[in-house]
Structure 1
Amino acid sequence: MTSIHQSASTGYQKNADKYQSGRPDYAAASLDWMRDALAVGKNSKVVDLGAGTGKFTKRICEVSDHVIAVEPVAAMRETLQANLPQVETPEGNALDIPLPDQSVDALICAQSFHWFASDLAVNEMARVLRPGGKLGLIWNVRDENVDWVAAITKLITPYEGDAPRYYKGDWQKPLPSPHFSPLEKQSFMQSHDGPAEEVIVNRFLSVSFIAAQPEEVQAEIAEQLRQLTATHDALKGKEQVSFPYVTEAFSATRL
């Protein structure tokens, strides 16, 4: 990745704090997924590519003592460094991972692969993975079977423009690859629990293409989100809400 999509470079640079507070953590089941599907152990050398503020990096640190986080957006990387000072954070990106050939046991993209999915990026990930090493792709996906979650999606979708999105499926184009076995998928449910201002308002103000909007547009979106939480039967009057997610996790082996 020689450049970062404008929605990511602008939005994430401006709203790294909202990303950290508004985004859900990852389900405890993701620890078993790393241990079982990705064969990660305490001595495994693991790269978190597109690590953001370290939401998933923190989970990787629970199963491995050798974690390297690569994040090209400076504000996101600085938040990660402050929260996880034990993690290596070299500057780099998906087309220039600053590591030697065949030097890592696992490489994970958490909530990030759709931003840089390409043959070139997959080739670069294959370069740093040892033969038999594991590729992991994981996303927390909103559960739109819940009506108020679907209403939020309807509210924000007009602003997304050409921003890459998991649901569009374009991230699947470079996979399968000659470098990797076919992807295997696991899914598990979880929720993000907290005040509506955090798990709904801050969550969606942290979305790249929303965070990249002018402040007055962000304020209008925030007001619409607050209006929804104040009037929807499932949300109104509640000090704490549970935002439902489905975690979609994919794994493959470096051939």
Structure 2
Amino acid sequence: MKVHEKSKGYHEGAKDYVSGRPGYPAEAVTWLREVIGVVPGKKVLEVGAGTGKFLRTLKDAGGDIVALEPIEEMRAELVRAFPDVTALSGTADEIPLPDGSVDAVVCAQAFHWFATSSAVAEMRRVLTPGGMLGLIWNGRDESMPWVAALSKILDRREGDTPRYLTGAWRKVFPAPGLEFVGERHARNSHVGTVEQVVVKRTLSVSFIAGLPAEQRNEVESEVRALIARTPELAGGGEIAFPYETSMFAYRKV
């Protein structure tokens, strides 16, 4: 599978991705254990593992973890942070593992990049009978006005970049040999300084990180202007950036 051109920002912004992205709520660990079956003694593959942002949550759930990531710079950050995790180079439709070799496959903040029939079939291939496919995303809670305003700054630059919010990833389902089990939603927040959770978070978005420097600086200027005119952000202290975490589960049949 060819890596999408707009993902080139991840090559350049891997370190910002680590600090600028939110983690996952406690409900995600419960979902992994109760629905996806990620428990000690089970083998789980994370496809599109990036810098390993979701690995802490997977470790909290338990299980033997394998991480698959095609982008060298992201994988290097993952290996540095989690030297005990098996990290593989590969793509969603060319997974270097045998048939029926994992009990669960999870994609965290990633499935929209490779939402194709061939990728879904490949992930099903490596699952054991009855194995689970879990998809999870953190989406911005745009019910807060300043978050909605930040989204508008981003949306003007998205072009044809694959995104969870468009819902285009749903078009590959229903998929042969997979049955939908259900979905869960939970509130989440990214707590930190405005610089970290607003500025760095924005600059870590793939299609922003991949912009020419002049355009990237223009985005940063717009974000800083939004911060300056928003009382709850202008103080520069610690804030809680609101998110909704969405989780979807499918079983191999």
TM-score (norm 1): 0.97
Q: Is the 8 A contact 2:30 2:61 kept in 1?
A: no
Q: Is the 8 A contact 1:46 1:64 kept in 2?
A: no
After TM superposition, what 4+ stretches of structure 1 lie above 3 angstroms from structure 2? none
CA displacement 1:31-59 (0-9 Å, x = unmatched): 00000111111111000000010011221
**Structure 2 equivalent of residue 113 of structure 1:** 111
CA displacement 1:220-242 (0-9 Å, x = unmatched): 11121112112212222141111
Secondary structure class of the residue paired with 1:59: helix
**Structure 2 equivalent of residue 26 of structure 1:** 24
Counterpart among 174, 198, 201 of residue 199 in structure 2: 201
**Structure 1 equivalent of residue 6 of structure 2:** 7
Alignment of 1:48-67 (within 5 A): 48-67=46-65
**Structure 2 equivalent of residue 74 of structure 1:** 72
TM-fit CA distance, 1:219: 1.3
Q: Mark the CA change 1:66 to 1:114 in structure 2 (over 3 Å): closer, same or farther.
A: same
The CA distance in 2 between the partners of 1:28 and 1:83, in whole Å, is: 21
Q: Is the 8 A contact 1:129 1:254 kept in 2?
A: yes
The CA distance in 1 between the partners of 2:96 and 2:210, in whole Å, is: 28
**Structure 2 equivalent of residue 224 of structure 1:** 222
Is the strand fraction higher in 1 or 2? 2
**Structure 1 equivalent of residue 125 of structure 2:** 127
TM-fit CA distance, 1:64: 2.2
Alignment of 1:97-108 (within 5 A): 97-108=95-106
RMSD: 0.9
CA displacement 1:39-92 (0-9 Å, x = unmatched): 111111000000010011221122224100000011000000000011001111
**Structure 2 equivalent of residue 252 of structure 1:** 250
Size of the aligned set, in residue pairs, is 253
What percent of counterpart residues are identical?
44
Secondary structure class of the residue paired with 2:147: helix
Unmatched runs of 5 consecutive residues or more in structure 1: none
Counterpart among 75, 85, 88 of residue 87 in structure 1: 85
Counterpart among 180, 183, 188 of residue 182 in structure 1: 180
Corresponding letter in the other structure for 2:137: W
Moved more, 172-181 or 77-86: 172-181
The CA distance in 2 between the partners of 1:199 and 1:60, in whole Å, is: 22
CA displacement 1:148-199 (0-9 Å, x = unmatched): 0000011111111110011111101111112111241100001101111110
Secondary structure class of the residue paired with 2:190: strand
